[in-house]
Amino acid sequence: AYMSGFGNEFASEDSRCPGSLPEGQNNTQVCPYGLYAEQLSGSAFTCPRSTNKRSWLYRILPSVRHKPFTPMSCGDLTENWNEVEPDPNQLRWKPFNIPKSSEKKVDFISGLHTVCGAGDSKSRNGIAIHMYTCNTSMIDKCFQNADGDFLIVPQQGEILITTEFGKMMVEPNEICVIQQGMRFSVDVFRETRGYILEVFGAHFELPDLGPIWANGLANPRDFQTPVAWYEDRTVATGYTIVNKYQGKLFSCQQDFSPFNVVAWHGNYTPYKYNLENFMVINCVAFDHADPSIFTVLTAKSTRPGVAIADFVIFPPRWGVADHTFRPPYYHRNCMSEFMGLIKGHYEAKEEGFQPGGASLHSIMTPHGPDVDCFEKNSTAVLKPERVAEGTMAFMFESSFSMAVTKWGLDTCHRLDKSYYKCWEALKSHFNPNWKPSTLIALLPDTSI
C-alpha cells in the first residue's frame, strides 16, 4: 500500500498498533507502546522550510544499538575516478552480464558495480553511476548510503525493497528513490539487473515547469510513498548493517531487524514512480525539442539552471513535426550524457544499443544518429506517427565531467569497441550547385 504525493508531509502507522503516532508533539516523554522516537534528517536544521527534510520514526529499538562498524570489501563499488586514464571517446556497453544463480549467489550489495562518476562524497558534491546485477535476496542484511541518494532503475526483474518506512515493489518501467541514510533491503525473484544514479549533496526534486506552468511531465500525485510496516524480530545469528560512507563500505552487527518502525511522520521518505504516468510534451510544429522537456527528476546544483544530474526519459509519444529531421540531432554538449535502455529499441540507434546496456557521451564528445537512422529519416514521408512504441530509454545527464572506472572500461568485458563504426558510413551530401526548388520573388508592396 502507498500514499500519493511528492515531498508531502506524510503520516503513517502500522494498523496492528493503532494510535502509535504521538499526538501534538514529536518526542513525548514516553511514546505510545513503549517505542523510541528517532529523527532522520535529510537537510540541515537551518534550511528554509521549503527545503527542510526530516522524518520522525517511532521504533521498537533505536538504530544506535549496534556493534562498531568495521571495513569490508567494496568489490567493484568505487569512488576512485583516477584508476585509469581519461577516455573522451564515445562509449557503448553491451548488456551487462548477470551472474547465474546456479554458479554463484550474488545479492544486491555484492552485485553493485560502478561504471563512471565524478566529484567527491566527502565534499558532498558529485555523482556516481552504478549497475546492479544480482540473483539472490539479501538475508538478514540491509544497506545504508551515508554518501547520497540512490535513484534505482530496474531493467530486468522486479525488486521488493523493504525500508524503515515500509515496503515497495518496483518493477521494470518504474523507478524508486532511496534517500541518504535510509536503510533498506532488496529481495529479488530471478536474475535481476538495473541502473543506479547516485548524487552527493543534493536531493532529487521535480523540475520547474516554466512556461508549461501548472501541469505536465511527472505529476506529483503519481509518486508513491510506502505505508508503515514493522517486524519485531530477533536475529540471534546477527543482522548485518552495511554502510556506504565516504565511498567505502563498512559493516556492523546487531541482534534485531532494523525494520522495526511501527509509525512515522515527515517529508523525508523513499518513494517510487511509474514511468508510464509521465505526461509527455513534444513539438507540434517543427524542429526537435531539447531532451530536457522529458525530465522526470532533477538534482540541482548551486548554479541556476545547471543540474548535478537530471533523470530524463524517452517515452512512447507522437511525432508530428513538419519539415524536420525528427530523431535526435547531432550534438556536442557541455554536459555528460549516460544513456540506458529498459526495453525496446532506441530511435536513434535501433541496432547495437540493447536493453541492459548503456552508452556514455562525455563532455563535448560528438554523438548523434547512426547512418541508417540518418538516411532513413532524411527521406521519410513526414506524417503523424508513434515514436518509441514499446520502448523506454533514459538518460542520466550531468554537469560533471565523468570518469569511467577500470571495471567499466576493462573488467566488465562489455565495452563495445566497434561503437564508432556506426558513424563511419556517413557520407557527404554537399552539393555546391544546389538551388531552392521554388524561387519566390519578394517584390515591393505597391498597393498603397
Task: Look up cell 511531465; give the residue.
Answer: 217
Report which of 363, 339, 364, 366 is spatially closest to residue 352, judged by C-alpha positions.
339
Cα(398)–Cα(117) distance, integer angstroms:
10
- Cα angle, residue 147 at apex, residues 142 and 150 outer, rounded to 5°: 65
Q: Choosing from 288, 345, 361, 413, which is the catalytic residue?
A: 288
- Cα angle, residue 102 at apex, residues 151 and 192 outer, rounded to 5°: 15
Q: Where does residue 360 rank: exposed (0-12), middle (13-18), buried (19+ CB within 10 A)? A: buried
Helices (H) and strands (E) in the chain, counts: 2, 28
Residue list for the binding site for Fe cation: 331, 337
Under 8 Å between Cβ of 311 and 296? yes
Residue list for the binding site: 331, 337, 346, 367
Residue list for the binding site for homogentisate: 346, 367
Q: Is 203 a catalytic residue?
A: no
Q: Where does residue 103 rank: exposed (0-12), middle (13-18), buried (19+ CB within 10 A)? A: exposed
Cα(243)–Cα(39) distance, integer angstroms:
18
Under 8 Å between Cβ of 130 and 220? no
- Which positions are annotated as active-site residues? 288
